[in-house]
Amino acid sequence: MKLNARVNDTERDLCWLSFPVAGKISQYVINDCGGEDVPRLHRTLTAEMARLFPESKEHVEQGDLYYEASAADLGEGYELSKDSEGRYHVRASREKGYLYGMFALYSLLRRGEDVGTPVVTTPSQHIRMVDHWDNFDGSIERGYAGGSIFYENGHFRMDYQLIREYARLLCSIGINAISINNVNVHHLESFFIEDPALVEIRKIADIFGDYGIRLFLSINFAAPITVGRLETADPLDPTVQNWWKRTVDGIYDMIPDFAGFLVKADSEGEPGPFAYDRTHADGANMLARALAPHGGIVIWRCFVYNCQQSWRDRSLDRANAAYDIFSALDGSFDDNVALQIKNGPIDFQIREPVSPLFGALRKTNQILEFQITQEYTGHQIDVCYLVPLWKEVLDFDTKQGGTSVVKDLLQANSVVPSNSGIAAVVNVGMDNNWTGNKLAQANLYGYGRLCWNNDATSEEIAADWVRLTFSLDDKDQEGMTQLLVTSRETYEDYTCPLAVGFMCKPGFHYGVDIDGYEYDRWGTYHYADRNGVGRERSLATGTGFTRKYSDARFEEYESLATCPDELLLFLHHVAYDHVLHSGKTLIQHIYDAHFEGVEKVEKYLAFIKTLEGKIPAADYDNILHRMELQLQNAIDWRDEVNTYFLRKSGIGDSRHRTIYE
């Protein structure tokens, strides 16, 4: 297949859309599906055809590619086929499906493949969302790729072309919703829900709307006080309810296709209904009723816990918090409320058990929350391809009976399936390559691909990203793919063993600090002593967290004899000489994993050095520099963790490798 040279080498990175396809399509025909979005999406489609298939022109009747209305209801999906005369057909029920089908055809042809048997694909999840933790001052909470693409120094950046480039990247991987401001809503951002901010937000919403992406805003629950100058934000106060109704009406007057609100309440200092002795259902439903006449929804985060805990009290367990609060409210939320639940019970660690809320909630809309930005997984310095982690969560069987696998129960257990889905904290900023580390683009790409098709494998997604992003021979493509798909396990090897979590530098969350959180207020303790390490969360002798799961999972997690090795230190305090299912003692596993993790990074670095001259110089320099930093980080983790546990346990390495005393 003939390909044009990569475009935009010195300007902003076009990521997996960098290489236009030539020699395939000269003319195309668009038959409108119907609907109010047709004109804007038609314009977007023709603009994208010009960029991705630069030889193509729209024609009224004849072409090499036909966009046609589908007789079947495909929702946001599409059918892709090729007829006996070599003409391509994209069929869809909505104009948005044409866009998704066009990007899929581009991806297929760019990878050197072609359409064989007709492919019909519909998204696995309804809501496929990215959440920005961007602040109006231009900073990004937990951002590692430069400043905000939306804001700078208390102003809107107003770089509409930049936002359009971002929207096309998101659309190309199937994203259909976005929140553009931090869930920790500061003072100035509290006013985003009224003029004059809404004037600019409408322009942003229109750009995303051109790509079928609806816009949410994070709101401050205390906005009736800070913005409306009321004396209370009590959700059951009629004055507060009326204020929110007027405010929401004003938003929809300005942005008719506004999607709704994202809310963090009663968590880490954010205001919420607990201040008024109200439940989270009271708070969420009050907002939902203001949005309902306009078709908007409330996404209410379940990340609620006591962040003033004492390490002295072992009965307190942050892992229990979300379950205890929200499981009791199942069925109490309005139909246009969705609970957004983090994948694990604590906070986006490299490994945690799946949140027990999945499977426990059976009468409430639910959205699974991931984190693309690498807060605890390497800050986009270290390579850590997260799709394998997300796959494990989606494929997890809660064993609750009925529809019990997470990827299926998101819809099955939601009262309105269209108000369910997946969201993730995104990793994008002003860096030229969007994600800081060039290889971190694979996480953004992989997230969108996995949301669209929950059954796609980590390997095929990584391989597709490599082929779309670089022009490498088969050997190097395979080498890069394997680097990505093994990197999560590698990162886990040299950092926190067996799901113990939080041995990183407090606040910053990059680099090793084994006891950094051990006597702090955040409820993230490993309790290492001379006998063993880990948090005892069994029902028999611990905090009872294991009982939050189904009977089958409880029995598995409760006993050391059946608890999976990879979750062991999250669920139990374990002696150093305890023998794992692998046959190793706990202490030997810790030593071996940390030595092996460094060795793997050394191999990654050696491979990257072979790519000089094979990938663009800017990409090579970017990846090489970060890989060198990753190796030093891995060495620091290895040496400090191994020394720490040698001193605690008094048990040496059976292989007599260097551990500093």
Structure tokens at 40: 């804007």
Helix, strand, coil % over all residues of the chain, rounded to 5: 40, 15, 45
User: Which of 342, 353, 371, 511 is CA-nearest to residue 440?
Assistant: 371
- CA 395 to each of CA 389, 392, 398, 407: distance values in angstroms, whole numbers, following the listed order: 10, 5, 9, 6
Among residues 253, 268, 455, 515, the one annotated as catalytic is 268
Structure tokens at 295: 């078709």
User: How far does Cα 312 stand from its chain's mean position?
Assistant: 34
User: Which of 368, 373, 350 is CA-nearest to residue 358?
Assistant: 368
β partners of residue 69: 92
Asked, as a colleague might, if the bond just before 196 is cis with ω within 30 of 0, I would say yes
For 294-313, give the secondary structure using H, E and C: HCCEEEEECCCCCCCCCCCC
Kindly report the backbone phi and psi dihedral angles of residue 65, in degrees, each rounded to the nearest multiple of 5, phi listed first: -140, 130
| Rounded-to-integer distance, Cα 376 and Cα 383, Å | 12
Kindly report the backbone phi and psi dihedral angles of residue 421, in degrees, each rounded to the nearest multiple of 5, phi listed first: 160, -150
User: How far does Cα 304 stand from its chain's mean position?
Assistant: 19
360-375 as b/e: b if 16+ CB within 10 A: bbbebbbbbbbbbbbb
Question: What sign results for the dihedral spanned by CA atoms 488, 492, 495, 500?
Answer: positive
| Rounded-to-integer distance, Cα 329 and Cα 302, Å | 12
Helix (H) or strand (E) segment spanning residue 441: helix 441-452
User: How far does Cα 634 stand from its chain's mean position?
Assistant: 24
Residue position matching structure tokens 């942050």: 318
User: Which of 457, 393, 418, 234 is CA-nearest to residue 336?
Assistant: 418
Which bin fits 499, alpha (ψ -120 to 50), beta or left (φ > 0)?
Answer: left
| 268 annotated active-site | yes
| Rounded-to-integer distance, Cα 41 and Cα 171, Å | 12
Coil, strand or helix at 605: helix
Q: Which amino acid is residue 31, in one-letter code?
A: N
Among residues 13, 210, 347, 382, the one annotated as catalytic is 347
| 375 annotated active-site | yes
Question: What sign results for the dihedral spanned by CA atoms 645, 539, 354, 298?
Answer: negative
Structure tokens at 392: 């494990």
| Rounded-to-integer distance, Cα 521 and Cα 82, Å | 60
Structure tokens at 440: 């971190």
Among residues 131, 375, 556, 592, the one annotated as catalytic is 375
Coil, strand or helix at 532: strand
| Rounded-to-integer distance, Cα 100 and Cα 93, Å | 12
- CA 601 to each of CA 375, 384, 607: distance values in angstroms, whole numbers, following the listed order: 20, 11, 10
| 599 annotated active-site | no
Active site residues: 268, 347, 375
